Structure 1
Amino acid sequence: MSHVPHELHEEFPDAADALHALKTTNAHFTRLADNYHAVNREIHRIETQVAPASDEALEELKKQRLHLKDEIAAMLAAA
């Protein structure tokens, strides 16, 4: 199990400029990015045993993070 946080700038290292541009100009993208960061933070807290959670809850959060990442990737590709 990896305890490395999956920050957007690490997930999309070649898209730093597009990430910044979308965050500052697209409210929907900003909400997606904020939700991604919140879910990602919670996963990291669970994986590092700062916050307790069941395996099922952790898996659900990971699925949520993946869905958000897919949406963000699609928006970056279209930008």
Structure 2
Amino acid sequence: MRKTDTLQDNRDIIAKLKQTDSHFAVIFDEHTTLDQQINQLEKDRVKHASRDEEIEHMKRRKLQLKDEIYKMIDKNKNTV
């Protein structure tokens, strides 16, 4: 996988994996949910200031999930 590949570039593989691999579907959904929660918290400056540590924890978890997602995409790249 190229370092510049994005989730959008791999949407066919992602769609297939979400249908055929329940673990992938769960971690992909968790990644999406975390992304939405982080964005929402960062938009609200009052909540953001009081929840910096929680946001950082969420970002670390999201990055772990992203790494796992890309490994699974790379592993399945030749099967689509």
Shorter-chain TM-score range = 0.7 to 0.9
- Please list every run of at least 4 consecutive aligned residues from structure 1 whose deviation after the TM superposition is greater than 4 angstroms: none
- Letter of the structure 2 residue corresponding to residue 57 of structure 1: E
- Which protein has the larger Cα radius of gyration, Structure 1 or Structure 2? 2
CA distance in structure 2 between the aligned counterparts of 1:14 and 1:32, rounded to whole angstroms: 18
- Letter of the structure 2 residue corresponding to residue 12 of structure 1: L
Higher helix share: 2
**Aligned residue number for residue 15 of structure 2:** 20
- Letter of the structure 2 residue corresponding to residue 52 of structure 1: K
**Aligned residue number for residue 33 of structure 1:** 28
Percent of aligned positions with the same letter in both sequences?
Answer: 30
CA distance in structure 1 between the aligned counterparts of 2:28 and 2:36, rounded to whole angstroms: 12
SS at match of 1:52: helix
Q: What is the RMSD computed on CA atoms of the aligned residues? A: 2.0
User: Which sections of structure 2, spanning at least 5 residues, go unmatched?
Assistant: 1-5
- Letter of the structure 2 residue corresponding to residue 58 of structure 1: I
Number of residue pairs aligned between Structure 1 and Structure 2 = 70
CA distance in structure 2 between the aligned counterparts of 1:35 and 1:20, rounded to whole angstroms: 15
CA distance in structure 2 between the aligned counterparts of 1:70 and 1:29, rounded to whole angstroms: 12
TM-score w.r.t. length of structure 1: 0.79
The alpha-carbon distance between structure 1 residues 51 and 44, as it changes in their structure 2 partners (threshold 3 A), is: farther
- The match for 2:72 among 70, 75, 78 is 75
